Chain A
């Protein structure tokens, strides 16, 4: 590979350009679908190729890097970089997008081309967050990914779709504005100290931030990221947005969009403001533990399947927050791994729930029952992903949760103990859902078709990854080892 070739830019903008071309095919939905899938697959292939052929990481941990001046007057640069953490998440993003497209191939009947175009545009937005190393660029992508998502929910959603879309947008947007203020303050502070105004992460980490100011800045970051995470008191948008968006949108939202916040916390907020982050750690612990327990508890009360999985997602994200807050190598590895696992598992759960809802147009779990005998393949996958989500050892979630818990227990046993409680509660709602759907006799006759070959194959790929990461997570752990070592030693 020619080292000067802007491969990261290609990776980043391939979905967007592809999406725009898809949008041009609006006269012909079938072609648009195929073309969109092709773009998604190409992106995934490119990511995989980068992952497999990645040169050794340099001392900064980045093995691909691109830096061009953009708006020099304000010290804004177009800086992209890929280290192990980014690579893992990029792969996840490309994979989940393809999955979402494949499994909800026919879900949307109107304005198909636009729908797929927006999905691809969201992908670019998310990839941008994972790849940017310039805070301005990061913020740009951070906001940019909201817009296609907003339309996905607002146009193709169901239920109170506009309410949910606006709520989602306002929640995240207001939080982000605070983060923008924090970024600008950092920028000015750094400029005043060194005389060179720059948005580059590598520069800004050297800013000397007074303690109190740092607290305010970190609070702004935390608020913005906490909304998207979501940390518990800020999760109000999530159940509505997850429930009312089209199934593919939900998968993207839960599977990858939520990870951007965790990633930003790891990549930007903590390194930029280490002291303040340390001061805020108890707050994050509390939010995370409350999130784990509260999410699981509220999930138990849900009878709307999608809403149940949505709250379970709150609970699972609590583990990630916990791992980040602990900021120890083991816990952080667990958190990053759990980001991937959560993407796979919760994504798959939303897929399953979405497929059921697509077949029967009913999301009320109490209306189902006895599916085990009727649709064995679907039931098998349903059970599989639910058990993965409940943290059955040997499947992916267990490894992540275990690392997080063990790593956290070392530094904060109290917080970890609260999270342990969550393990029990997780099982309680999972088993309830499984029982409602798979066991018993149906309270009303539901006619269902079992999975098609396309669906089975796609879900099988998810399941294989689930097992693989549960049995042999070493590839991911090796990838993220260097960056995490760098982050936690700094």
Chain B
């Protein structure tokens, strides 16, 4: 098992480092194959590990560093949660690597791209497999770093680089909260091993558990783009589309959910924390969905929908339904990657046009993409019997069943969000694929897009039928539920079959209603009206949603501007003015005193003599005065 796990990590690391160091000098095909082979090698290891799996296992690979009682081994932990995530990550990333080979075919700097992708896989896997919180932090920061460079991959444009920077710094804020939690945990327990910590939560007073939970939540908020640190994710779409699919949809952004799920045994005992998680999740889900309603950029629609869907996962964690959250995490990874990759096909076909109001009629020119994208949208909308339906519904059910006023309020918020989700999913589908559009000319040759489209198919199947991973109880229960069952703390109240059916019925109705609404507003002839409207200045509400509730402007006014202004003040007023100026003035004072005293040396002998005599007289006078 040690071999599998360490190989799973080392292969992509090796691939990444190799590509980073010598990739530029390798033939293109070799570099690409190397990168893909590394990830699929990892996948093979993950599968082998899964086959050999027979219970949670902790593996110490090596010692990282040790200073007195702070011992940090490089230890890995394989349990159902990490195993299922590893499989998903390797698989999705592997597909996206393949996709990238074609998507980035025209890019000259392929070595950097694939090196970073591979390094990302390494970091993500170490995040997931880490048994030690510091190792988890390494992965946590590593994915952030790769994401930073990948968002800004086309660095020559300032906006891209700015977006990368924004992502890096915003997530760093959350990361720091996580690091505080680490330091605190070490102070309390003297260890940072996740398995040990999870077993010791009961030793702590509730207040501290709450505080720790909130700190971890802050970390998760940063990484998973939840309120109020979600501003970076829409901008992160500046990166190449495979990057958006891989990092900003399937894997990295769900790391926060993973962290909370992982540490749930420790932090779950605090009601305040779980409520906070649930509230953050619910609000973010609603926020993301509402913003997605008004976006014009295809990738930004998907970005806000990602924010919203992760909000659902947080809701699940907050409701104590770790299984449901993980289930949604996995299924979401499939269908959101699918949607992004589909969007990538669309964008390639449209020559990097991303405005959905300028697209149309693509269902005929890109049929495979269309069907796959439709499958993804159905999952996102939660149409009955798709994977997304089951996973989202298990979260909502868990919320309802928890039965407190808060969770039931959040349940209704979730339902409302589901309605909006269905609406914007199909708004997107209608605008992109239906109707006809003037921009038909100059599509790529079909063969350019075809290999990329092929990658969509397995993802579409997984998304559509992902539900079988964890079927509801009335269909005989699911595999995931029993697999993840041993995770302590993951015991939400079971719903009876009738209740479950009723709740699912409500959700299904809402989803269908949303799709219907979208059809009414964007389908058929109405679509052209919308296109006409889109040329006008947007209404205030639309603009409000389009700009993500103006959070960016708020932060700019509240944080960024003052920070910049104050930095200049600190430098020029305090540092140059007070500290340096003070010293300079002191020096000037000493200097001018010196030159003032220097005027005494007139060069006239008489003055010297007089001074000398006066000095002598003073001495003598002093002696006389003493003897008086």
A interface residues, Cβ below 8 angstroms from B: 167, 170-171, 233, 235-236, 239-240, 294, 297-298, 300-302, 329-330, 333-334, 337, 370, 372-373, 376, 380, 387, 392-394, 398-399, 402-403, 405-407, 409-410, 413, 416-417, 420-421, 423-424, 427-428, 431-432, 435, 438-441, 471-474, 477, 481, 485
Residue B568 is within 8 A (CB to CB) of chain A in the complex? yes
Report Cα–Cα, A236/B74, bound state, in Å: 43
Tell me the minimal C-beta distance from A258 to chain B in angstroms: 18
Determine which residue in A416, A424, A432, A439 has the highest number of CB atoms from chain B within 10 A of its CB, and name it. Answer: A439
Residues of chain B within 8 A (CB-CB) of A301 are 564, 567-568, 570-572
Beyond A392-B145, A416-B183, is A431–B156 a contact (Cβ under 8 Å)? no
Instruction: Tell me whether B186 is interfacial, beta carbon within 8 Å.
Output: yes
Residues of B within 8 A of A424 (CB): 169, 172-173, 176
B322-349 interface bits toward A, Cβ cutoff 8 Å, 1 = contact, 0 = none: 0000000000000000000000000000
Please give the distance in Å from B457's CB to the nearest CB on chain A: 36
Kindly list 18 other residue pairs between chains A and B, CB separation below 8 angstroms, not including A333-B67, A409-B183, A428-B169.
A236-B582, A298-B570, A301-B567, A329-B67, A330-B69, A387-B145, A393-B134, A393-B137, A405-B179, A420-B176, A421-B176, A424-B172, A435-B152, A439-B152, A439-B155, A440-B158, A477-B67, A485-B68
Residues of A within 8 A of B183 (CB): 405-406, 409-410, 416, 420
- Complex contact A473–B65 (CB within 8 A): yes
A435: contacting residue among B142, B165, B580, CB under 8 A: B165
Minimum distance in angstroms from B263 CB to a CB of chain A = 18
Set of chain B residues within 8 Å of A233, measured between Cβ atoms: 579
List of A residues within 8 angstroms of B583 by Cβ: 167, 171, 236
When A and B form their complex, which 9 residue pairs have the shortest distance between CB atoms, in order from nearest?
A439-B161, A409-B183, A393-B138, A301-B567, A439-B155, A333-B67, A329-B68, A301-B571, A300-B567
**B161: contacting residue among A167, A392, A435, A477, CB under 8 A:** A435
B491-510 residues at the A interface, CB under 8 angstroms: none
B245–chain A nearest beta-carbon distance, Å = 23
Q: How far apart are the CA atoms of A2 and B537 in the complex, in Å?
A: 88
* Chain A residues with CB below 8 A from B162, complex form: 435
Q: Does B128 contact A (CB under 8 A)?
A: no
- Complex: A198 Cα to B145 Cα, angstroms: 55
State which residues 152-177 of B face A: CB under 8 Å.
152, 155-158, 160-162, 165, 168-169, 172-173, 176
Given the contacts A423-B172, A477-B66, A394 and B567 also touching, CB distance less than 8 Å:
no
A-side contacts of B137, CB under 8 Å = 393
Which residue of chain B is the closest to A402 with respect to CB atoms?
A: B134
Q: How far is the CB of A309 from chain B (nearest CB, A)?
A: 14
In the complex, per-residue mask of B38-71: 1 if CB is within 8 Å of any chain A CB, else 0? 0000000000000000000000000111111110
Q: What's the Cα separation between A372 and B155 when bound, in Å? A: 8
With the chains together, A373 CA to B70 CA distance in Å?
Answer: 42
Bound together, the chains give a CA A427 to CA B168 distance in angstroms of 8
B141 within 8 A of A: yes
Chain B contact residue count (CB 8 A cutoff)? 54
Contact with A along B408-451 (1 / 0, CB 8 A): 00000000000000000000000000000000000000000000
Q: B148 interface residue, CB < 8 Å from A?
A: yes
Q: How far is the CB of B178 from chain A (nearest CB, A)?
A: 10
> 17 A-B contacts, Cβ less than 8 Å apart?
A235-B579, A236-B580, A298-B571, A301-B570, A330-B69, A337-B67, A403-B65, A407-B70, A410-B183, A416-B183, A424-B169, A427-B172, A438-B155, A439-B152, A440-B156, A441-B158, A477-B67
CA distance A217 to B505 in the complex (A): 79
Residues of chain B within 8 A of A410, CB atoms compared: 183, 186-187
Residues of B within 8 A of A472 (CB): 64-65
Measured between beta carbons, the chain B residues less than 8 angstroms from A471 are 64
Across the interface, do A394 and B142 meet the contact criterion of CB distance under 8 Å?
A: yes
Task: Please give me the residue from chain B that is nearest to A401 by CB atom.
Answer: B179
| B558, chain A: closest CB distance, angstroms | 16
Nearest CB on B from A409, distance (A): 4
Residue B184 at the A interface, CB < 8 A? Answer: yes
Question: How far apart are the CA atoms of A263 and B60 in the complex, in Å?
Answer: 35
Q: Which residues of B contact A438 (CB under 8 A)?
A: 155
A417 and B161 within 8 A (CB): no
Interface string of B351-394 (1 = CB under 8 A from A): 00000000000000000000000000000000000000000000
Query: What is the chain A residue whose CB lies nearest that of B139?
Result: A393
Q: Name, among B65, B180, B563, the residue most crowded by chain A CB atoms within 10 Å (CB to CB).
A: B65
* Residue among A302, A337, A474 with most chain B CB within 10 A: A474
Q: B566 on the interface (CB 8 Å rule)?
A: yes
- B59-105 contacts to A, CB under 8 A, are 63-70
In the complex the two chains form, is B156's CB within 8 Å of A403's CB? no
Q: Are A409 and B184 in contact (CB under 8 A)?
A: yes
Distance of B223 from chain A, by nearest CB (Å): 14
Chain A-chain B contacts (Cβ-Cβ < 8 Å), number: 145
- The majority secondary structure among interface residues of chain B is helix
| CA gap between A405 and B574 in the complex, in Å | 27
**Residue B519, interface by CB 8 Å:** no
Interface hub of A236, A294, A333, A406 (most chain B Cβ within 10 A):
A406
- The interface residues of chain A lying within 8 Å CB-to-CB of B572 are 301
Write the nearest CB–CB distance from B131 to chain A, whole angstroms: 16
Chain B residues near A405 (CB-CB < 8 A): 179, 183
Closest chain B residue to A467, Cβ basis: B17
Q: Which of B565-590 contact A (CB under 8 A)?
A: 566-568, 570-572, 574-575, 579-580, 582-583, 587
CA distance A399 to B64 in the complex (A): 10
B135 to A, closest residue via Cβ: A393
A406 adjacent to B155 (CB under 8 Å): no
Q: Which chain B residues lie closer than 8 Å to A329 at the CB level?
A: 67-69
Query: In the complex the two chains form, is A297's CB within 8 Å of B570's CB?
Result: yes
A416 to B184, CA, bound (A): 10
B63 touches A474 (CB 8 A): yes
A406 B182 Cβ-Cβ under 8 A = yes
Residues B24 and A376 in contact, CB atoms below 8 Å apart: yes
The answer on a CB contact under 8 Å between B567 and A330 is: no
Shortest B189–chain A CB gap in Å is 12
- List the A side residues contacting B157 at CB < 8 Å: 440-441
Contact among B165, B173, B566, B571 with A432 in the assembled complex (CB-CB below 8 Å): B165
User: Could you tell me if A330 and B568 are in contact, using CB atoms closer than 8 angstroms?
Assistant: no
A393-B156 CB under 8 A given contacts A403-B67, A477-B65 = no
Instruction: List residues of chain B with CB within 8 A of the CB of A420.
Output: 176, 179-180, 183
C-alpha spacing A474/B63, complex, angstroms: 9
Tell me, rounded to whole Å, the shortest Cβ–Cβ distance linking B130 to chain A: 11
Which residues of the partner chain B approach A240 to less than 8 Å between Cβ atoms? 580
> Is there contact, CB below 8 Å, between A334 and B67?
yes
Complex-state Cα separation, A441 to B148, whole angstroms? 18
| Given A330-B68, A406-B186, A424-B176: A393 in contact with B142 (beta carbons within 8 A) | yes
> Whose C-beta in chain A lies nearest to the C-beta of B171?
A427
Considering only CB atoms, which chain B residue lies closest to A384 in the complex? Answer: B20
Query: Which residue on B lies nearest to A435, using beta carbons?
Result: B161
